[in-house]
Amino acid sequence: MSRKEIKLVAARTGHQNRRKNREIIWCIAFAAMLLLAPQVMARQNYLSTFETTYPAAAGSRIDACNLCHNSPEGGDARNSYGLSYASSGRDFAAIETADSDGDGWTNLQEIKSLTFPGDANDHPTTTPAPKSSGFEAIGTIAALFVVVMAIVYRQRKGKQ
């Protein structure tokens, strides 16, 4: 082979290698787009569900990725509200009465006040209504029962 032929073969081989490299890069880019697209669409779907469930919050400051994530861009770790939402089977209504961030306000109270239910430092400005676990009513009934029984006991004892 002459020098000219060797150079021509080398040039063709280099061109073929560059072409193969470009094809590999395009395949990797296409695969990455396919893998990342469902995640981006899913996030928008969650926000759409939030907006449908709470129309008054649509377009507000809490209608953003940091409703459930630690950053406004989303895609990072979930905050306490995001974890509650995920563990509820992705049902916003199921976690309305919970206090995901532990600040004394229910998630629904915070959403209605347009504060983030996953951020304990962001909450309505008024004092939260006391949470009733139902035991107060039972305690009141039990105390009333004891008073009535004491009255009945004294009346019967007085008759003897």
**CA–CA distance, 156 with 160 (Å, rounded to integer):** 7
Q: What is the DSSP string of 54-105?
A: -GGGTTSTTSSGGGTBSSTT-SS-B-HHHHHHHHTTS-TGGGTTS-TT-SSS
**CA–CA distance, 114 with 105 (Å, rounded to integer):** 12
Mean pLDDT value across the chain: 79
Amino acid 157: pLDDT: 75
Mean pLDDT of 35-47: 59
Predicted confidence (pLDDT) per residue in 144-158, tens digit: 777 778 787 777 777
How many angstroms separate the Cα of 94 from the Cα of each of 14, 52, 73, 98, 139?
Answer: 61, 15, 25, 8, 28
The reply to whether the predicted model has a pTM over 0.75 is no
**CA–CA distance, 39 with 150 (Å, rounded to integer):** 66
Predicted confidence (pLDDT) per residue in 49-63, tens digit: 999 999 999 999 999
* Residue 7 in this model has a pLDDT that exceeds 90: no
Taking the alpha carbons at both ends of the chain, their separation in whole angstroms is 134
Which band of pLDDT confidence, cut at 50, 70 and 90, is reported for residue 76? confident
* Residue 15 in this model has a pLDDT that exceeds 70: no
Mean pLDDT of 30-48: 61
